[in-house]
Amino acid sequence: MKAFHILFVLIVLLISCGKKEAMPESESSKISVDSIVVLTEDQEKSAGVAISALEEKDISEILKVNGAVDVPPQSMVTISIPMGGYLISTHLLPGMHVKKGEVLATLEDQQYIQLQEDYLVTQAKLVFAEAEFKRQRELQENQSTSDKIFQQARMEYDQTRVSLRALEEKLKLLHIDPTKLDEAHISRTIQVLSPINGFVSRVNVNIGKYVTPAEVMFELVNPEDIHLNLHVFEKDVAKLAIGQAVTAYTIHDPQTRYPCEVLLIGQSFSDDRTVEVHCHFKKYDKILLPGMYMNAEIDVKGHSAWTVPEEAIVIFEGKSYLFINDRPHTYDLIPVMTGLTDNGYIEILDAAKIAGRQIVTKGAYTLLMELKNKSEE
C-alpha cells in the first residue's frame, strides 16, 4: 500500500511538470502569430504598401534652446555732454529712429560763451606772439638782442599755439566749428548730435534740467548688430561650435524664422548650469527688439547613421516598431530603437538586426491596424 502511494505522488508530479513546460511554448506561439500580417496582392495595393532597405544618411541633431534679443556693448551708445548745461529743447521719445548727425538736443550755458571767447582771445594772442617771435628771431640772427629775450618770445609763441590747439579740440567736442567762429558768431547754445543710425532706447532728461557731464542723457541702439543671447545647458555645451547655423523664432509667430550664426560661446556657467551663447542675426528685422524672448534651434554637428523614413516607424504601446518583409505578402512586426530625426528620416540605433532586409516604408500604420483587428478576432 505504501509503495502504491509513492507511485501515485510521482505520477502527479510528472503531470505537473509537463504542464509548466508546455505554457511558454503556447505563449511563444501566440506572440509569433500576433506579430505577423499576411495580405493578398490586392490588399497590398489598397494599403499602399511600399518597401525599401535601410538608407545611410548624415543625421544632424537639432538642439532646442531659448533666450532673448540682446544688444552687445559696441551697439549701444550712451549720449552725454563734455560740459554741463541747461536742456532747452529735445524731441526724442523711446523707440524713435534717428539718423547719424541728427540733432538730438540743444543746451545753453554761459560757459559755452566763455569757451568761445577764450578761443578768439587766444587766437589774437597767437598772431601777436608769432609776430614777436619772428621779430626777435631776426634780431637774434643780427645779434641785436639777447638769447634770453629770444627764448622768452619763442616760449610765449609755443605756449599760445598749444593753448589755441587745446581750445579748438574743446570746441569740436561741443560740435562748434572753430574755423567758422568769430566775434559776430558767438553762440550761447550747443547741439547734441547722433553719432549713429539707430533708435532711442532711453530718454533720461527733460526740458529745463541742468545736465552734468556725468549724466546719461539718452541711450541709442544700433540695430544692425543686435545679437541673440541663448542659454544652453551644461550637457549640451560640447556639441556647440563657432559658426553653427541657428534658426530663431518668436513665441507669437513661430512660422517666421530668423537665420543666425553662433558668434561666441561663453566660458562660465550661471547658477542654473547654463552657458550664454551669442548669435548674430544674418539680417536685421525691425520687429526684433532688445529683450524680446525667442526660441531657437541649433544645428549641431551631425553623423552618419542607418535610417528609415519617419512614416516607416509605428508606435504601439509606447514602443517603436518596423514591419519587415522577408517572405512574399508576409510582414513581421519587430521592435527597434530609434535615435535622431532629420529631414523626414529617423535613425535606427539597432540597425544590425535588420541590415539587408526589406522594410515597409509606406502603409505601416495600415498593417498595424490589420494586426490589431486580427488579434481581436
Neighbours of 198 (CB within 10 A): 23
Cβ(95)–Cβ(200) below 8 Å: yes
The full set of domain ranges for the chain reads 36-60+304-376, 63-73+223-300, 110-187
Cβ(334)–Cβ(324) below 8 Å: yes
Cβ(297)–Cβ(335) below 8 Å: no
pLDDT tens digits for 65-122?
999 999 888 889 999 999 999 999 999 999 899 999 999 999 999 999 999 999 999 9
Neighbours of 3 (CB within 10 A): 7
pLDDT tens digits for 257-289?
999 999 999 988 888 899 999 999 988 888 888
**pTM for this prediction:** 0.58
pLDDT tens digits for 204-262?
999 999 999 999 999 999 888 888 999 999 888 888 889 989 999 998 899 999 999 99
Q: What is the pLDDT of residue 377?
A: 60
pLDDT tens digits for 105-114?
999 999 999 9
Written as one letter, the residue type at 177 is D
What is the length of the chain? 377
3-state secondary structure of 25: helix
3-state secondary structure of 309: strand
Determine the distance from the C-alpha atom of residue 185 to the mean position of all C-alpha atoms in its chain, rounded to a whole number. 51
Neighbours of 176 (CB within 10 A): 21
Q: What is the pLDDT of residue 262?
A: 93
Q: Residue 39: CB partners within 8 Å, gap ≥ 6? A: 47, 49, 329, 331, 367, 370
Q: What is the pLDDT of residue 344?
A: 85
Q: What's the CATH code, domain 63-73+223-300?
A: 2.40.30.170
Written as one letter, the residue type at 274 is T
Q: What is the pLDDT of residue 342?
A: 78
pLDDT tens digits for 7-54?
444 444 444 444 434 334 333 333 334 688 888 888 888 888 888 898
Q: What is the pLDDT of residue 41?
A: 82
Choosing among 3.40.50.300, 3.30.1330.60, 2.40.420.20, 3.60.9.10, the CATH entry for 36-60+304-376 is 2.40.420.20
pLDDT tens digits for 308-342?
999 989 998 888 999 999 888 888 999 999 887 87
Give 92-131 as a 3 state SS string: CCCCCEECCCCEEEEEECHHHHHHHHHHHHHHHHHHHHHH
Q: What is the pLDDT of residue 12?
A: 41
Q: What is the pLDDT of residue 34?
A: 66
Q: Residue 363: CB partners within 8 Å, gap ≥ 6? A: 44, 47, 48, 49, 50
Question: In the predicted model, is pLDDT for residue 166 greater than 70?
Answer: yes
Calculate mean pLDDT across residues 138-160: 85
What is the phi-psi region of residue 363: left when phi exceeds 0, alpha when psi lies from -120 to 50, beta otherwise? left
Please compute Rg for the chain using Cα positions.
42
Alpha carbon distance 362, 216 (integer Å): 66
